[in-house]
A and B are shown apart, each in its own frame.
Chain A
Amino acid sequence: MQLFVFVCAAAMILVGAIGVIVRSHPVHAALSLILTLFGVAVLFVAQEAHFLAAVQVIVYAGAIVVLFLFVIMLLGVDKAEALRIDPVKVQRPLAVIVGLGLFGLVAAAIVRSRDSLVVRGRGIDIASGDAGHDSNIRQLANDLFSNHVFAFEITSVLLVIAVVGTVLLARRPRSGSATDPSAGSK
């Protein structure tokens, strides 16, 4: 059963990821990205990270991809990219070689060091009966609000800075500086 879930989720992830990089239409690439994100959420559930699976679906598939689609559709850049022509001749074979080399090296390191993983912590005891159905959220909250509470507070500052910076960046220029004809046409 676990093998079945893993194989299905891995197929979703890989099909979606390849779809992102080969579909020439940006909307199709965004929809393929949703497929990959759902596959990753399934694997989070399989690894007993239930809270992170929910956050993955809500934040990534819900918010970030919708933001991508908003930008694609509002700006009208949903034209298919001409993937047939290659601006730099050797770029694509070189990129594929780099990708295969990256995967090969990392996978070789993982397979070589697979016996050196030893359990040190107290364990994530979702499976035990006395832990309760929300023990993953409870453990995560205990760790987040005790060991990492300062980083958590800094995160809120980061989000405020990001929102203010985006408002400043995406703001339309004032009407006095109408030198660009495309600026006011939207």
Chain B
Amino acid sequence: MHLAIASPTTTWYLVLASLLFAIGSVGVLVRRNPLVMFMCIELMLNAVNLTFVALARKLGDIGGQTTVFFVMVVAAAEVVVGLGIIVSILRRRPSATADDIAELKG
């Protein structure tokens, strides 16, 4: 039964995506640089995208890929707004960490 193990199934993709999501969540919890926390949020979004694409293939429904398209657009908008906020904070205090900006008042 060499053919049975020769092709990765949907379960493998989902487990890989959950591992990626867990790594991203650990990064958000551990890191204090707001830029790196943003990158970890991107990791989590990519894990969810991978889940959508794998299930779209498995279930034979193109709607999963459409959802990934929208997730990408919203992620781009989120990154643009978030980096704008980070730029305006870090310009004022160049070495701010997430602990220093716990309150939104600049």
Contact = CB atoms under 8 A, between A and B. Distances in A.
Contacts of A114: 9-11
B23 A18 contact: yes
Contacts of A40: 46, 49-50
Contacts of A142: 62
A98 B26 contact: yes
A49 B65 CA distance: 7
Given A67-B83, A71-B86, A165-B84, A44 B53 contact: yes
A42 B39 CA distance: 20
A10 B16 contact: yes
Contact of A158 (B50, B72, B77): B77
A49 B26 contact: no
A143 B73 CA distance: 16
Sort chain A's interface into a size bin.
35 or more
Nearest to B83: A71
A34 to B, nearest CB: 10
Interface in A66-101: 67-68, 71-72, 74-77, 79, 81, 87, 91-92, 94-96, 98-100
B30 A63 contact: no
A144 B68 CA distance: 11
A94 to B, nearest CB: 8
A143 B14 CA distance: 24
B29 A81 contact: no
Interface string B14-42: 11101111111111011111011011101
A26 B16 contact: no
Contacts of B31: 21, 81
Question: Is chain A's binding surface mostly helix, strand, loop or mixed?
Answer: helix
Contact of A91 (B30, B50, B85): B30
Contact of A166 (B12, B54, B73, B81): B81
A178 interface: no
Interface in A129-170: 136, 139-140, 142-144, 147-148, 151, 155, 158-159, 161-163, 165-167, 169-170
B7 A21 contact: no
B72 A55 contact: yes
A172 B61 CA distance: 47
9 contacts: A13-B16, A52-B65, A72-B35, A91-B30, A106-B18, A155-B74, A162-B78, A163-B80, A182-B94
Given A52-B49, A98-B29, A183-B91, 20 more contacts: A3-B5, A3-B6, A17-B27, A29-B35, A30-B39, A40-B49, A44-B50, A47-B57, A77-B33, A77-B90, A77-B95, A107-B19, A114-B11, A139-B62, A140-B62, A158-B77, A161-B77, A166-B81, A167-B84, A180-B92
